[in-house]
Chains A and B, each alone.
Chain A
Amino acid sequence: MPTKLPPVDVVIVGSGWTGGIVAKELASTGLKILMLERGKFQDTNPDFIAPQSHDALKYSRRLDLAQDLSKETITFRNDRGQTALPMRQYGFFIPGSGVGGSGAHWSGLTWRWGEWEHRMLSGTVEKYGRSLIPEDMTIQDWPISYKDIEPYYDRFEKVCGVSGKAGNLRGKIQAGGNPFEARRQNEFPLPPMTPTQSMTMFEGATKKLGYHPFPIPASNCSTDYVNPDGVALGACHYCGHCTNYGCEANAKASPHFTMIPLARANTGFELRTNAMVLKVNLDSTGKKATGVTYADARGREFEQPADLVIVSAFVMGNVQLMLHSGIGKPYDPQTGEGVVGRNYAYQSLGGARVEVPRDVFMNPFMGAGALGMWIDDFASNNFDFAKAGYIGGAGISAGQNSGDPLTYRPTTPGSPRWGAGWKKGMVEAYQHTMSVGFQGAVMSYRQNYMDLDPTYRDHWGRPLLRLTFDWQSNEQKVMAATFAHCQRIAGEISGKAPATATPGRAMAGRRFNSVPYQTSHNTGGAVFGDDPRTSAVNKYMQSWDVPNVFVLGASALPQNAARNPTGPVGALAFWAADAIREKYLKRPGRLV
């Protein structure tokens, strides 16, 4: 029997961006708030202090900031005809753990999505009719518009000290920014980061081809910065240890230093680590949550009563917790009914490697997580869908992240994988290689979803979350077309056809492969919407069925864009936190 603890007003599951934002935004209410984090406590000092924080083996290979897969993982299959099997070691995504969650080890690309990306269904149908949308595609509009969320994008950018250049400032197109950008009220809080050689070459080539390059909005501060909450962020060192690492300079925004200390200003706030939430408890009606049950590091179970439960445990954790707790109807791919687990989507990556002249040195070790140039000419609805024959598109970029040779060591084309020729190939290529990569949008489909696995269990005896996902033909077309664009750009940079290339993992005939790391940008499973038949939560991320439960994060996004989801995730957390503070707490109950 779990030990019953004294009640709190609010319990927050997870200490990443969304949980952190809600905890901080509710601090002023003086409510008793308990945050439960499955992983360890960590802070910049001492956990992310250099030089130890630059250990590529520990962080980039052994993924020290990731979830312990021996305790919990997912099972995966491409289609319902297969038996799903566990992801036994880290695969296509890296789930974060510890205070700050994935926000401690992310790269820092902080996008606003474009206007069309907030209404992909109606925006597409209005312009092209229904014919581009296959019968099994289940994309849907956000329940709120870009205009509704714009101030919240602005807030998140200011919190993070995003470095960038506006492209559309109050309707005026700005030189050097993204001309396809949705209208913004304010310039980025910080100027763009210092470009690398690869970025200037990409910029030159894409301009020559008539495209519109701009610096990627980066939560890697280009200068020292104090955010509106009074939190000091340091200037980025360009040390090349961002992705999978914590940042010793607090230059890469993370909830562990932006949100958690401010939440702690509320004396009623407590952060409890090594606390794995197993279930949201419901009362006998099933319409009201009474709190959560969690296990501590020793495996002892505790029942924590609470009036309000915020589920903010990454995409997979959110969906799993809803399914284990009986919150919302599980999705059934056969009937298309049910909402929890519905509309899972991912992103696709690929690109072309470019050999640059031997008198040009790339210094690949001078990098940062979000340091790069990008074009949106083939993303969103910025080009003619009907002509392309698909929806979604892809962003194309050249960036410089880490030149640590443990993870970055290109070879000259045709080099062997080992021996003397291999060493020679590396020495010749290390300073003279760059790549042009793409990141493609992925739509939602009836057959791509999450549910509970019938066989495999986690450390605490609960069924693992089962993911069923495969590329569909729309995405395969996006990949093939975008790869051709990458090749053209690579050719323009090098003056010759790219020597080696990855045609994307989603080329026709190839199934989604869960083995190599691709991106952690999972979306969906508990999507937000206006219709309880096609959404698990309402526009404030409040469960339709259990109104004192809010489910925050990328699980709310009804399909994925060609851009990293952290910007929308952060903005939506502020949006939901406002609704909780200004509406829900004043009159608990369904807000819609």
Chain B
Amino acid sequence: MSDDDKTRADRRTILKFAGLGMGAAAMPLAAQQTDPIPQPGAAPVPAPPAPPSGHDMAAHAAKPAQSAGDAPRLGYIFLDAEEAAFVEAFVDTIIPADEYSPKGSELGVATFVDRQLYSAWGQGRNMYLQGPFQEGTPEQGYQMSLAPADMVRLGIADLNAWARKTYADNSFDTVTDAQRVEIVTALEANKITLDAVPTPLFFNMLYQLTTDGFFADPLHGGNRGKASWTMLGYPGVGEMFADKIAEWRGKPFRVDDPQSILDLS
């Protein structure tokens, strides 16, 4: 067992004993903020844009943007300890730490998933969930009676049961990184059969939630420090480009710190 694996196993034990969804609180929050990625073949990154004009909301930015290390500690609302450990492991597999960004759980992506599942949307508030239920054709789309939160909960239990059978009583969060990649690869390819939820539905739901948590405004709990926006060079939601669109046509427009809704409100 590598050190990493040992840490993970220990953490899971702690979670089990505590019986509390404290996954995020137990995690060291991202200390390292990656520098903006220089674009290959790009002209030097330009200086920050000129002072904001009339309708530029950057003018309203009163306080400095949060860095990842400033993020508040948030507990889980919907996910229980085992589910939280699963989701953290899953988002770290989809979004590993590398030169481009910290890993998913350090960016609050698991917190984001938790909040979305607990939200009205997660509970199926906007879905038509009246019966009768029947499968239909692929062109007719989703026909199950499950809200997103139900689907994720059932799918996690199923996949963990499968993992325990396949990986010597290890659940998804206690197998090695390489084994997780193996499992997610098989899951994506629909090579694992789950009991309650069709595999593609479960994978796509969790995948969508994870990527949404990586890219959505930090307002929603993920994308801490606007890491994904910095990674891509997306300037955030505060920029107005009416006076910049012609000037920067074809040239790399970048800002040092993208603006999120949180920065501007």
A interface list, Cβ under 8 A from B: 50-52, 54-57, 61-63, 68-70, 73, 76-78, 82-89, 91, 194-197, 200, 235-241, 249, 358-363, 365-366, 403-406, 409, 417-420, 422-424, 426-428, 430-431, 455-457, 511-515
Contact = CB atoms under 8 A, between A and B. Distances in A.
B93 A419 contact: yes
A176 B244 CA distance: 23
Tell me the interface secondary structure of chain A in the complex.
loop
Interface stretch (B3-11, B16-24, B127-135, B157-165): B127-135
B134 to A, nearest CB: 7
B121 interface: yes
Interface string B217-260: 10110000000110111110111111011101111110000011
A83 B136 contact: yes
A78 B137 contact: yes
Tell me the interface secondary structure of chain B in the complex.
loop
27 contacts: A50-B57, A51-B264, A57-B217, A61-B212, A69-B128, A70-B124, A82-B140, A83-B134, A85-B141, A88-B127, A88-B128, A88-B143, A89-B127, A194-B242, A197-B249, A235-B242, A237-B242, A241-B237, A249-B55, A358-B39, A363-B251, A406-B212, A417-B207, A423-B98, A423-B100, A430-B234, A514-B140
Contacts of A513: 138-139
Determine the interface band of chain B, counting residues with CB < 8 A from chain A.
Answer: 35 or more
B87 to A, nearest CB: 15
A363 B132 CA distance: 48
A236 B242 contact: yes
B101 A423 contact: yes
B62 to A, nearest CB: 13
Lowest 4 CB-CB distances: which A-B pairs, in order?
Answer: A54-B237, A366-B241, A238-B241, A51-B264
Contact of B129 (A88, A196, A241, A430): A88
A63 B126 CA distance: 10
B41 interface: yes
Interface in B1-46: 37, 39-43
A360 B250 contact: yes
B100 A424 contact: yes
A85 B264 contact: no
Nearest to B121: A62
A391 B220 CA distance: 48
Given A85-B136, A420-B98, A361 B251 contact: yes
A358 B40 contact: yes
A400 B60 CA distance: 27
B250 A427 contact: no
Given A51-B265, A89-B142, A195-B249, 19 more contacts: A50-B238, A51-B261, A51-B264, A61-B212, A70-B128, A76-B141, A86-B128, A88-B127, A239-B237, A249-B55, A360-B250, A363-B245, A366-B253, A403-B234, A405-B228, A418-B184, A423-B100, A427-B100, A430-B232
A238 B128 contact: no
B188 interface: yes
A239 B57 CA distance: 11
B42 A361 contact: yes
A430 B233 contact: yes
